[in-house]
Every structure is written in structure tokens, then in C-alpha cells.
Amino acid sequence: MFGLMQDRPLMISSIITHAARQHAKAEVVSKNLDGSISRSTYAEVEHRARRLAKALVLLGIRAEDRVATVALNSCRHVELYYAISGTGAICHTINPRLSPDDFAYVVNHATDRIISVDPVFVPLIAAVAPLIAAHVRAIVVMGARAEMPNLTLPHGMDLLCYEDLIDSADADYIWPEFDERTAASLCYTSGTTGRPKGVLYSHRSTLLHALAVNVGDVIGIRAVDRILPVVPMFHVNAWGIPYSAPMAGAALIMPGRHLDGASIANLFNAEKVTISCGVPTVWLGLLQHLRASGERIDTIRRLTVGGSAVPRSMTEAFGTEYNVELGQGWGMTEMSPVGTYCQPNAANADLTGEDLLRLREKQGRALWGVEMRIVGDDGAALPWDGVAFGLLQVRGPWVCSAYFGEAPNSALDADGWFSTGDIATIDADGFMEITDRAKDVIKSGGEWISSVQLENIAAGHPDVAEAAIIAARHPKWDERPLLIVTPKPGHEIDVATVMDVFEGKIASWWKPDDVVVLSDLPHTATGKVHKMVLRDKYKDHLVK
Ligand code: ADP
């Protein structure tokens, strides 16, 4: 017997119509390229998204068509999210930091019909236009007529103006209803190894994920909050914030391209931001600015961090110096992206000081909706004892089952588990801790060394800004850890003192064999340390 509750589909359009009715005046604020501020509201965003949706339909966009965006975090990008998915088409967010070759690859692989682009990324489009002319019928420049560039496109590709498109359509469009499993958005993994692969989210997965990240122990957004996603809308839907914030009724503050520490602190204070989300590199930049300038961020009640491991020193600094909780989450493109979040539960509710900092080094507990397990080389599940480590696998309604264009369920094993490629432990209270990416594992004389743990310790050195550990070839031990560090601005690194920070914190044979000091580390398109580049360059450092 089925239940007798209404069988209403979970539609992305329902989020913005809800926000427009219940939180009509809640703001969507954008910092523009020139530093000026534009203000909109959920009522206006919904109204304009409806006109834009109609304009897309008039341009010939139909259900399942891919409409791409190459854009920073802005109100117009939010309008596109809702307009595209709301019509039943698929919003393909493209990372503007992709190489031209990968950029053309993802556009052609997705067979994008239209690309909406921020004026700042027009040169990128100019460079790749001949490579993407097979499918792309129009480039929409996200601005007013006065901002239209002088750009010649290949035959058959039109240049359109975003504001003209909205002006051309009336607002009598009615959001259609369809199966909630319909594809809504597409994001390619950044492809640090091999070609990028497309992850195709559905309306259902997007809504369930948006609800799940919005509980009190995760991002916990309230209607009176003002949330600033530093995480980009061009990668994994900015962790779902453009959906969770209007669902909750919170104001969205969009930083555009101004992501350095000073600009972020300035926007936090000017716009009274209460919550923000970003990768560790962003918070490192903010911390350096705050310390150097003496500026405070007193309206912030929670900073959320993820994407790569969070050094304990950073969590401690925000807590003790700025009274700000730095909450760590873990996830990946294939998980929409959030899988776990680290907040104490009943088993460790009373932890304080060092013990609490130790807990916060972990990536945390699975959200409701995500099941996780760790398995050994033989595929057998390992115990949750905080010691056994193995490949982390997940399953749930917002975990990918197959990559775009590949056979159904081809990303899963026979039992429906998705392998994350992360190596982790899980403790008796359910807290997961990443020890490595499978591809970054260091095996020294057959014994394993955690690169994440070593990086975390090195990042605690007062002169070190960023630290990366790679496996370097070694004639006797096969592989040994090599530490690569960058100095904080105005600091110099004394290698001997860096080695000293490991003293007493790890087994002596885990200590890196050498330290390389660089002025800067290479980063991937999503802002993570690009270990493959470092490995290519330094893997023979110890045998030379
Ligand atoms: P890409 O790096 O290709 O852009 P994702 O953004 O999907 O891909 O990154 C997913 C990976 O990032 C995870 O599998 C994990 O290795 C790493 N990661 C994410 N969050 C954390 C975290 N809090 N701590 C450690 N590693 C993390």
C-alpha cells in the first residue's frame, strides 16, 4: 500500500518560487568587476529567471539541452541556474581555469548549445570559439548592451546580450513540472589525471542535498543569515549554497572576482556576512590579511571549509584570535559535493581545547542520506576503530552512479558503492578522517605514511604558508616523503626549524627526508595543490 500523501515532484524551480513568496525582500548582492555593488531580491531573481527561461525557450532550447555558464558568483549566475534547470534544460557550469584544450573538450563532450559568459571571460571564448563551433549556436554575454564586446565568432554562432534577452521576453512563463529525476545540472571533475568526467545532477538529488547541507550541524543557514559563498558556482554548484540559501530565505552575497583576503574581509564587514564557505587557501589568505591589518570579522558566526584537508593551526587561529568556528566538510564533485561534516555529537560533546581541535582535524560524520564504509585491498569492509585505514566508499541519493555519456551504474561496484579514491579511517563514533588520496599514498619500505598528517604538522610552523608532501623515489626505501613549503609573506623559512616541528608528533621514520622551499605552489583549477605537477618535477629529488 502506498502512503496517501501528495506526490509532488521535487523541482528546482520550487526553491526560487518559495523564496520569492516567503522571502521576497531577502537580498542577492553582487560585487561587480569594477568593485561596485548591485542589489537584487529573491522576488526580482525569480521574476527575471522566468523571463530568461522564456527567452531560452524562444531561442529553441528544449528539455535536456545543455546550456553552459562560464561565470563567477553573481546574481546573474543565480538567475541562470534557475532559468536553465527550471525549463527542464541542463545547466553545465564550466570552470574558466580549465586549459583551452580541456575547455573545448567539455563543451564538445556535453554538446552545449548556448554558453553564457561573464564579460571578463570573453577572451577565453574568443580563443576557443573555433574549437567549439560544432555544437554551440550562441554566446550570451552576461551584461547590458553597453558591456557588449567586439567579438567575431565562427559562422553559425551568434553573439547575444543577456539583458536584451531578458527584456525581449515577458514574464508569463509558467515553470513546468516534470519527473524529479530529470537531469538539472552538469559539472565536470577537474581531471587532474586523465580527461574531465561529467557528473549529472538531477532535480531530486539537488533538492535532497540542499536540504541535507542545511541542517544545524552542517552549514545551518537561517532566514536572518547573510551567506557569502567564496566557493565558485562554476564548480559543484558552490556546494549547493545557491539552492540552500533561498530555501532558507538567507541573503546571498556574491563576491565576483574579489577573493583575496582584504576584499573578502571588506565584503564581510560591509554586508554584515554571518556565514561563508571556501577552500583552505581562501581562509589562509583571509587570516594573513586579518593579522597584518588588524581588521576584525565580528559578524561572522561560522566559516565552512573543505575541498582539501584543513590544518589544525588554521582552525585554532580562527577560534582563538577571531572567535569564529571553522567547520570542516568533506565531499567531491561526484557527491554534489557534501558527504561529511565535522561537528561534535553526543559521544564527544564535552571536548574542549586540544581534544576538540584534534576532533576538528577529522573530516567528520556522514550526513543523513550518505552511507560510507572503508574497505581493504580484498574489498572486505574494515572496522570503525579509528586505526584501520582503507579505500572510502559511499552511496546515497546524491552520489553519482555513472559519468555523463557512460553506461548506467558504471561508476559503481556490484553492491552499489562508489569508490571515492580517498584513503580514510572511521572511528567508533562515526568520524571519518582522510589520510591520503589513493594516488598520493607514500609507501616507504612497504609501510604507509600519511601525507595529510605531515602536511598538517608542517603548516603549523610559524613561517610556513602552504605545505605539500609528495612521494619521492628512494634507492633503499622505494619512496620517502619530500616536503615542499612556501613562506608566509615577509617570512623566511629556516629548513632546520621546519624539521623540528615534526619532533615528538610522529614516528621518527615518518619525518620527511628533505624540504624544498618554493615561492609559490602550483594549484589545480579548483584551487588545490597540484601534486601531480610537484611529483613530476621533484620525484627524483632524493636520488639526484
Ligand atoms: P577535484 O579536486 O577534481 O576538483 P573535487 O572537488 O570533487 O575534485 O575534490 C574531491 C576530493 O577533494 C576528495 O576526494 C578529497 O580527496 C578532497 N577533499 C575534499 N574535502 C576534503 C577535506 N575536508 N579534507 C581532505 N580532503 C578533502
Q: Ligand 1: which atom is nearest the Cα of residue 528?
A: 2
Residue 234 in domain: no
Looking at ligand 1, which residue's alpha carbon is closest to its atom 27? 308
Same domain, 458 and 417: no
How far does residue 309's CA lie from ligand 1's centre (Å)?
8
Q: Which of 95, 332, 374 to mutate to test the pocket of ligand 1 (most atoms within 8 A of CB)?
A: 332
Q: Ligand 1: which atom is nearest the Cα of residue 525?
A: 4
How far does residue 307's CA lie from ligand 1's centre (Å)?
4
Same domain, 421 and 501: no
Same domain, 378 and 447: no
Give the pLDDT confidence of 202-250 residue by residue, as tens digits: 999 999 999 999 999 999 999 999 999 999 999 999 999 999 999 999 9
Q: Residue 444 is placed in which grid cell?
A: 616507504
CATH number of the CATH domain containing 291: 3.40.50.12780
Domain end call among 382, 407, 437: 437
Query: Which pairing describes strands 390-395 and 251-254: parallel, antiparallel, or unpaired?
Result: unpaired
Residue 191 in domain: yes
In this structure, what DSSP letter does residue 386 have? S
Owning domain of residue 406: 258-437
How far does residue 332's CA lie from ligand 1's centre (Å)?
5
Q: How do the pLDDT tens digits run along the chain, 544 residues long? A: 999 999 999 999 999 999 999 999 999 999 999 999 999 999 999 999 999 999 999 999 999 999 999 999 999 999 999 999 999 999 999 999 888 999 999 999 999 999 999 999 999 999 999 999 999 999 999 999 999 999 999 999 999 999 999 999 998 999 999 999 999 999 999 766 678 999 999 999 999 999 999 999 999 999 999 999 999 999 999 999 999 999 999 999 999 999 999 999 999 999 999 999 999 989 999 999 999 999 999 999 999 999 988 999 999 999 999 999 999 999 999 999 999 999 999 999 999 999 999 999 999 999 999 999 999 999 999 999 999 999 999 999 999 999 999 999 999 999 999 999 999 999 999 999 999 888 888 988 888 898 988 999 999 999 999 999 999 999 888 999 999 999 998 999 999 999 999 998 888 899 999 999 999 999 887 778 888 899 999 999 998 7
Q: Which of 314, 342, 422 to mutate to test the pocket of ligand 1 (most atoms within 8 A of CB)?
A: 422
Rounded distance between C-alpha atoms, residue 91 and residue 184, angstroms: 6
User: Is 448 a catalytic site residue?
Assistant: yes
In this structure, what DSSP letter does residue 417 have? P
* Res 108: pLDDT: 98
Same domain, 422 and 296: yes
Catalytic residue, candidates 448, 477, 524, 539: 448
Domain end call among 207, 235, 270: 207
How far does residue 50's CA lie from ligand 1's centre (Å)?
35
Q: Ligand 1: which atom is nearest the Cα of residue 333?
A: 7
Query: Is ligand 1 within 6 A of the CB of residue 267?
Result: no
Does the predicted TM-score (pTM) go above 0.75? Answer: yes
Give the pLDDT confidence of 465-515 residue by residue, as tens digits: 999 999 999 988 899 999 999 999 899 999 999 999 999 888 889 999 999
Same domain, 507 and 429: no
Identify the residue whose cell numbers are 543565480: 78
DSSP-based helix, strand, coil % in the chain, nearest 5:
30, 25, 45
User: Is 189 a catalytic site residue?
Assistant: yes
CATH number of the CATH domain containing 449: 3.30.300.30
Domain end call among 420, 437, 454: 437
Residue 356 in domain: yes
Query: Is ligand 1 within 6 A of the CB of residue 419?
Result: no
Q: Residue 181 is placed in which grid cell?
A: 529525476
Same domain, 342 and 478: no
Residue 459 in domain: yes
Residue by residue, DSSP assigns 310-375 as --HHHHHHHHHHH--EEEEEEE-GGGSSEEEE----GGGTT--HHHHHHHHTS-BEEPTT-EEEEE
CB 377 within 8 A of CB 420: no
Same domain, 89 and 198: yes
Summary mean pLDDT of the chain: 95
Query: Is ligand 1 within 6 A of the CB of residue 237?
Result: no
Same domain, 393 and 417: yes
Residue 544 in domain: no
Looking at ligand 1, which residue's alpha carbon is closest to its atom 1? 190
**DSSP 3-state of 287:** helix
Catalytic residue, candidates 25, 272, 443, 505: 443
Residue 28 in domain: no
Catalytic residue, candidates 334, 361, 433, 479: 334
Residue by residue, DSSP assigns 224-284 as T-EEEE-S-TTSGGGGGHHHHHHHHT-EEEE-TT--SHHHHHHHHHHTT--EEEE-HHHHH
Rounded distance between C-alpha atoms, residue 46 and residue 317, angstroms: 40
User: Is 334 a catalytic site residue?
Assistant: yes
Same domain, 264 and 375: yes
- Please provide residue 31's backbone torsions phi and psi, each rounded to the nearest 5 degrees: -90, 120
State the burial class of residue 408 (Cβ atoms within 10 Å of its Cβ: 0-12, 13-18, 19+): exposed
Nearest CA-CA partner of 484 in 415, 530, 429, 436: 530
Split into its structural domains, the chain has a count of 3
Query: Is ligand 1 within 6 A of the CB of residue 190?
Result: yes
State the burial class of residue 508 (Cβ atoms within 10 Å of its Cβ: 0-12, 13-18, 19+): exposed
Same domain, 458 and 428: no
Rounded distance between C-alpha atoms, residue 204 and residue 218, angstroms: 20
